[in-house]
Amino acid sequence: MNEETRVIWGRSRSEKAKYVHLFINGEDCCGLGSRLDLQNDDWDPNNPETCPYCRRYYAWLKKGFHRVPRY
């Protein structure tokens, strides 16, 4: 990941929110995290409360992949 990428683990305060999602530069990775209300800078992605899609996405980021800008 490069220096410009801001990676945040967080979740919504909604009672319907089941998982902690990965947000990159303020945008959720999986499309299921509606909004970021609570964040955790030291979140362990292996925690069972982590969104499975975000966990896989994070693994790809750690392997050197990066997001393509949307136009």
pTM: 0.83
CA distance 65 to 50: 20
35-64 confidence digits (pLDDT tens) = 889 999 899 999 999 999 999 999 999 998
21-35 confidence digits (pLDDT tens) = 999 888 888 888 778
pLDDT at 17 over 90: no
CA distance 68 to 37: 25
**Average of per-residue pLDDT across 1-11:** 75
Name residue 23's beta-bridge partners: 8, 28
Q: Tokens 């069972």 appear where?
A: 48
Q: What is the pLDDT of residue 49?
A: 95
